[in-house]
Amino acid sequence: MSMRTCERCRRGEITETVDTNRTSMNENGERLEIDVKNIEITRETLDQLEGGTEEGVNEVRGHIETAEHVTEDIFEEDGDDLEEIHDKADEFENDLQDTSGTVEKDLERISDAISSVETRETQEELERAKDSASEDKDFLGEQSETLNEILQQSRLDYEALRGRVQTKGGQTR
């Protein structure tokens, strides 16, 4: 599902968007984990080389170093993809929070109306409207919190993976 503002979305669409974000972040995280393992394997292989002719060793080392660099580039591309997913999820989370704020204002308006009307039946219907708006606000808050937790965990996992890729100079290529 494409990221869009959540105002006037159906609850099912919001839940689906949160679930899609979770899936996308998990799948991308799995790709990044594979990238890191591949980088570590190539680095270990390079460190474990023992010998041969000077030309042979230089050629073998060159190919293994190229394999490492190619895999680091793949890691960076996958990381860029994940950061794009994070950015879109941040936008959606902000939309959820904005919409929740709008519902909060509606709750205040409904409360004002309840205290202003004099007919019991009207007050009862307005109370039902208030309950519905409150449920909507709770739903939006839960979805926002869920998305925030998913984002935070994905960012922590990504940073841990980046740390494993760090070169001797302390920076990724």
Q: What is the token pair recorded at 148? A: 């925030």
Q: Which helix (H) or strand (E) holds 139?
A: helix 120-165
- Record the pTM: 0.84
Cα dist. 169→57, 105, 119 in Å? 24, 53, 75
User: What's the pLDDT at 38?
Assistant: 96
To the nearest whole number, what is the mean pLDDT of the chain? 92
Q: CA 93, CA 131: separation in Å to the nearest integer? A: 23
- Residue 75 and residue 36 in contact, taking contact as beta carbons nearer than 8 Å: yes
Give the model confidence (pLDDT) of 87-124 as tens digits. Answer: 999 999 999 999 999 999 999 999 999 999 999 999 99
Place of tokens 């205040």: 108
